[in-house]
């Protein structure tokens, strides 16, 4: 992995370009007055969570009352 070092001002003014480089797999170290203060690098794993498979919750609901979707008594005045 290629690493590049830039100052804080350059990082601020060219942030979008630095992100493009990181997306390509490069690493960017950001310094302030010659001291390392931050590092931009690609994530070690995907940030996206896998979507659950269709039907994966099947069988988890053991009972549903027959009046599950009936109006609640406290809303009778509004109906």
Q: What is the pLDDT of residues 6-52, one digit of tens each?
A: 999 999 999 999 999 999 999 999 999 999 999 999 988 777 788 88
Q: Over 90: is that where the pLDDT of 57 sits? A: no
Find, among 78, 77, 1, 79, the residue nearest to 39 by Cα. Answer: 1
Q: Over 80: is that where the pLDDT of 72 sits? A: yes
Residue 30 CB coordination number (10 Å): 19
DSSP letters for 37-75: EEEE---SS-SSPPPPPTTTTTT------TTTTSPPGGG
Output the pLDDT for position 63.
84
Output the pLDDT for position 13.
96
Parse the chain into domains and list their residue ranges.
Answer: 1-34
Output the pLDDT for position 61.
78
């Amino acid at each position: 992995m290629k690493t590049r070092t830039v100052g804080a001002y350059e990082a601020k003014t060219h942030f979008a370009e630095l992100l493009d480089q990181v997306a390509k797999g490069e690493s960017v170290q950001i310094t302030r007055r010659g001291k390392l203060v931050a590092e931009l690098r690609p994530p070690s794993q995907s940030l996206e969570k896998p979507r659950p498979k269709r039907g994966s919750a099947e069988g988890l609901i053991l009972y549903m009352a027959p009046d599950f979707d009936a109006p609640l008594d406290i809303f009778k005045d509004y109906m």
